[in-house]
Amino acid sequence: MREQKIIKSYSSLAIILAVVSTAVGCRARSPRTSDERATPEQRRVIGAGVPYLPARATDKMALAQNMQLRREKAWDVIRELTKEVPIAHNPGGHGSLPNASASLPLWQTWYTGDELPVMFRSAYEKLTVDQRKIRAPICPEELDSLFEKHAQSPVLGFTPEELEQRLSQVESLEEIRGISGRGVTMFSPGLLRHYFENYVYVLKCEAEQAGLGPQTILSPSNHTPCFASEFPSGLDFPYKLPPSDYSRCKVPSAPGPGINHGAAVALKTSWRKAGAGVVGKFDTDGESLTKHLTEGAWKPNSLIPAQNLKPDAIFSIKLMASANQYNLESIHVVSKETRDWLWITLWWSPEPNLDFGEDRPAAFAGTPWANYKMCVVTDFVEGDLDPASHYTITHPSLARALGASNKWASPNTQCSNPFIEQGQGNAETNCIGCHQHAGTKANPEEIYLNDPENPRTAVSRQLYPNHSRSQVRHNFPGDYLWSFSQGPDYFESEIISTVNNVDHGI
Ligand code: HEC
């Protein structure tokens, strides 16, 4: 009986994987359903998103030239983002959890794409008609309080008693983690704030881009035509519009007192329903990695029955409304600590201490994050003459895996998540090579395409050389974020349509 069940779920995963691997690269997320994504009610329980404030500036050049420094930095970032933070679960006087010391990993307090238009609308609506006519910016002091106010907005569709009743059932660790929902992309407060502050520049983006060739260098400090400045690193002060923009505000010229909402960081997660079906096991030792790269698409080396996974072997959530439990297979992190971002990805593995997990710091022991492997990229080109050399003695399986990656990708970098980068050609990516096109008309699926059977491949390989790992642009309309112009988040369009709707009283 049990055997039959397993066989059945194996074949269903095989079908899912087959469909996924032929159809998509960075997959579109599942439809937005109220129980699976953060809703106002969840925001009310979590409170305002907690900023990520890097301790010190990151030396991009040093990371580019030294794989060990790069990996240590990436683990540090993950350590900070997975740090448990207490959640303000009773902000408005009603709605509290039975567990008074409930906490979430910092990243789980962040915002889903759905929250951006809601927050932007509430700030934009406060401008007078005349201010809107001249496209006055939203003042820093309004942005300072926006996040707290949003967390306290009334919970639509729930009486205080109903909310109380619902929250009283949130007890287990998985249920607490489930409060944050199953949003696929998530955004730090610093990232959202940058959009609100720059809304006038986002509106002008199309016009700014017209006639701009990919090679045009805009300014030494700003590579995007769609924002007055690049996204914040968390160390620079947020008020970065030209001082004249602030003329009607209480803080007339930057810098002044105010809240630092931290670094711009974006996340992309992939979840799989727990308890049923199978989970792919992807081998990433040197030899297996070479094979995956040669094939160009990730295929699981074996399949593990999901019911064999112990709760502490993977990060799991249980959703409030549906009682569905999900396992976190992988998580992409991009952090604007350097101008071209840090590109970090974690993927679950049943052998987490081998190769890309061999150097995981001891501080992760005993946390769910000890079950994940990691790779990181900070540049298009590999600046370390021998990335494997740092680990030959201390972490030999990591050295072999890095050696295989470098041999394949040189002179470029390579880093790809087996659970997310599923398209034909996408195992060979270095993240940044595809993301440089964000905000342009380029189609992400054509960017990684490397399939001899597909007639479009020749054009793609010409436009996006070296398996799309090379730099081919010098200005970046979306500052490397696909959520700027692409689904599921479409932030540029959301801002434009919110402005139009409010201006027309809709
Ligand atoms: C072939 C193109 C491509 C590659 C390769 C790729 N991505 Fe993406 N990525 C996208 C697209 C398209 C989106 C937006 C749609 C979505 O979420 O699926 C996205 C979304 C994201 C997001 C959400 C924020 C945003 O708006 O961009 C993060 C974070 C991210 N990717 C990180 C990574 C990392 C890390 C890697 C490498 C391990 C990577 N991506 C590789 C195309 C790509």
Residue 78 above 80 pLDDT? yes
Which residue did the predictor score with more confidence, 366 or 12?
366
Atom 20, ligand 1: residue with shortest CA distance: 482
Specify the range with the lowest mean pLDDT, choosing from 27-36, 205-214, 392-401.
27-36
pLDDT digits (tens, 9 = 90+) for 123-136: 999 999 999 999 99
DSSP-assigned states of every residue in 13-49: HHHHHHHHHHH-SBPPPPP--TTTS--HHHHHHH-SP
Residue 411, preceding bond cis, omega within 30 degrees?
Answer: yes
For the Cβ of 445 lying below 6 angstroms from any atom of ligand 1, the answer is: no
Residue 29 above 50 pLDDT? no
The pLDDT value given to residue 397:
98
The pLDDT value given to residue 11:
29
CA of 56 to the centre of ligand 1 (A): 26
Residue 141 above 90 pLDDT? no
The pLDDT value given to residue 210:
86
The pLDDT value given to residue 1:
31
Ligand 1 binding pocket mutation candidate from 26, 271, 432, 490 (most atoms within 8 A of CB)? 26
The pLDDT value given to residue 438:
97
The pLDDT value given to residue 131:
94
The pLDDT value given to residue 5:
30
Q: Record the pTM.
A: 0.92
| Tokens representing residue 27 in the block | 């997959």
Atom 39, ligand 1: residue with shortest CA distance: 431
Cα distance between residue 445 and residue 455, in whole Å = 14
Which atom number of ligand 1 is nearest to the Cα of residue 434?
2
Q: Where are the domains of the chain?
A: 9-306+314-503
For the Cβ of 123 lying below 6 angstroms from any atom of ligand 1, the answer is: no
Which residue did the predictor score with more confidence, 99 or 57?
57
Encode burial over 187-216: b for 16+ CB neighbours within 10 A, e otherwise: bbbbbbbbbbbbbbbbbebeebbeeeeeee
Per the document, the length of the chain is: 506
Q: Is 255 helix (H, G, I), strand (E, B) or coil?
A: coil
Is residue 25 very low, low, confident or very high in pLDDT (cuts 50, 70, 90)?
very low
> 109: alpha, beta or left, given left = phi > 0 and alpha = psi -120 to 50?
alpha
Which residue did the predictor score with more confidence, 125 or 96?
125
CA of 482 to the centre of ligand 1 (A): 7
The pLDDT value given to residue 385:
97
The pLDDT value given to residue 227:
96
69-94 mean pLDDT: 85
Nearest Cα to Cα of residue 448 among 268, 285, 289, 293: 293
For the Cβ of 77 lying below 6 angstroms from any atom of ligand 1, the answer is: no
The pLDDT value given to residue 26:
37
Is residue 89 very low, low, confident or very high in pLDDT (cuts 50, 70, 90)?
low
For the Cβ of 424 lying below 6 angstroms from any atom of ligand 1, the answer is: no
**Sign, CA torsion 262/488/343/199:** negative
Nearest Cα to Cα of residue 480 among 351, 345, 338, 368: 338
The pLDDT value given to residue 155:
73
pLDDT digits (tens, 9 = 90+) for 434-471: 999 999 999 999 999 999 899 999 999 999 999 999 99
